[in-house]
Structure 1
């Protein structure tokens, strides 16, 4: 990976990595205080119409909602807590961080971000059913895992990334990028995540999420937490594909990559199939 990272740095020298949003830095500095001022954070969020909408949407999403509907920013901030408010900031600014003029590229990006947010929702809802896996980090990973793709689209507008929406070949996607572009979206996504100050285990998950040897090669220097997140991500990405009509529901838990993931989290395919249908049911109810 080291050579790839050096190569990526060189290739990315010609484009700008999206900067960490200023409001995110403001919220992070408030969050580090011994007694964070939630009123100040509510004002920061409330001053930005797009962010207000993103925070309310997250507070009422199937991943994090309570019994009653949340309609005010102070209420949303106090119910969500700082870590989840940061998810809303990430969701909004990540989606707006890359813009394309070409209509086909614009249409692809719309679909791409929809799939990322579906993956984030599915990942956090699956993590909720598993012991010891952070639902916030699962959401962040779902959102950021493919974030290198829009960045690479700016640098290589002639390269088609359409196949990344489909799960045809999880392991070979980044190998093909490597041979054509000299880097891959996992390396670039890791750099972006580090740039935005995301935790080390989240960045590691993004960097390694297409490498199935982490499940088969025990000498792989990677933490159990990262393996857990990659397993959840593989299954969540598939749920998002089914949700968006890109894959068949009957394939839930049936692909070779699913076997690695299910084996790691100790879930039978039939058990996952049932859990996935529940999660998809909740997501459909919320989105329509």
Structure 2
């Protein structure tokens, strides 16, 4: 027999669970699942990857446009998905597709979200640049993390009417973690939501774990944590500082919180950081 009093008690006992259920996590797109399935094979076939992507004409066209952009395409212009795969590699093409699918799945109107996607794209590009330049990790993994690390922001913008003001407060907080402010105001945070989406979408555990901890800079010093997680969080701090500089704001609150840890982990002196930021700003401006 249904007991309303017991049901109310259960609901009250787990308000976090009720909150999480109220935040819509988009299901993993079937196209992404098919791509991941093929890439998981012992010998993934470029032709099979191309067929999966070509089945969605709109996505295929968007991928070609992105692959031929100055940041990814360079001097080589791909005229087909097969050529894009040959130029960029299967894993990088899959990472670009994941980003396009994320933007389609989290399609909400509003100036805040448009700005969010622009910044996410820049961050992903910055992560690729830094991963290649410093020869740390795989560029496609850095790209995926850079694009997905703040997807929770987009989902929380849709859930909470005052989340914009939360972001303003958290971005200006000089000592406490960004996620602490979110937890205080909303009982959840974008890192936790982004991690959940990453897991639901079949992204690697290292990417999901790095998303969860990308505002917890102590993880950089944690030798028990996976090196990929530590390097992604360290690179994200460097990317954040570079993006701030690119936008004309040389000071970065997040860099002040974790920059020293990132430099120590990456083995970078301050003048090397300055050079990297200048090079990255030039690349983003092209």
What is the TM-score when the length of structure 2 is the normalising length?
0.84
CA displacement, residues 19-40 of structure 1 (integer Å, 9 cap, x when unaligned): 1111111222222334434333
What secondary structure, in the 3-state scheme, does the structure 1 residue paired with 2:22 have?
Answer: coil
Partners of 2:244 and 2:250 within 8 A in 1 = no
Match of 2:207 among 202, 209, 217: 202
Task: Please list every run of 5 or more consecutive structure 2 residues that lacks an aligned counterpart in the other structure.
Answer: 1-13
**Hey, what's the Cα distance between the residues in 2 that align with 1:98 and 1:40?**
27
**Hey, what's the Cα distance between the residues in 1 that align with 2:45 and 2:226?**
35
Match of 2:144 among 129, 140, 146: 140
**Paired position in structure 2 for 1:116:** 120
Partners of 2:234 and 2:262 within 8 A in 1 = yes
Shift of 1:9: 4.2
Shift of 1:62: 5.2
Report which of the two structures shows the higher radius of gyration computed on alpha carbons. Answer: 2
**Paired position in structure 2 for 1:263:** 264
**Hey, what's the Cα distance between the residues in 2 that align with 1:276 and 1:44?**
37
Answering whether residue 31 of structure 2 is matched by residue 17 of structure 1, we say no
Within 5 Å, which residues of 2 pair with 1:19-38? Answer: 19-38=27-46
Shift of 1:133: 1.7
User: Residues 127 and 161 (structure 1 numbering): CA distance in 2 closer, same or farther, change over 3 Å?
Assistant: farther
**Hey, what's the Cα distance between the residues in 2 that align with 1:48 and 1:148?**
26
CA-based RMSD: 2.7
**Hey, what's the Cα distance between the residues in 2 that align with 1:30 and 1:147?**
25
Partners of 2:128 and 2:142 within 8 A in 1 = yes
Answering whether residue 190 of structure 2 is matched by residue 182 of structure 1, we say no
**Paired position in structure 2 for 1:3:** none
User: Residues 262 and 7 (structure 1 numbering): CA distance in 2 closer, same or farther, change over 3 Å?
Assistant: farther
Task: Please list every run of 5 or more consecutive structure 1 residues that lacks an aligned counterpart in the other structure.
Answer: 1-5
Shift of 1:89: 1.6
Shift of 1:165: 11
**Hey, what's the Cα distance between the residues in 2 that align with 1:165 and 1:137?**
30
**Paired position in structure 2 for 1:226:** 229
Partners of 2:220 and 2:234 within 8 A in 1 = no
**Hey, what's the Cα distance between the residues in 2 that align with 1:233 and 1:42?**
31
Partners of 1:145 and 1:186 within 8 A in 2 = yes
**Paired position in structure 2 for 1:87:** 95
User: Residues 189 and 250 (structure 1 numbering): CA distance in 2 closer, same or farther, change over 3 Å?
Assistant: closer
User: Residues 142 and 161 (structure 1 numbering): CA distance in 2 closer, same or farther, change over 3 Å?
Assistant: farther
**Hey, what's the Cα distance between the residues in 2 that align with 1:33 and 1:228?**
27
What secondary structure, in the 3-state scheme, does the structure 1 residue paired with 2:225 have?
Answer: coil
Shift of 1:229: 0.9
Higher relative contact order (CA 8 A, sep 6+): 1
Answering whether residue 164 of structure 2 is matched by residue 163 of structure 1, we say no
**Hey, what's the Cα distance between the residues in 2 that align with 1:165 and 1:31?**
41
What is the TM-score when the length of structure 1 is the normalising length?
0.84
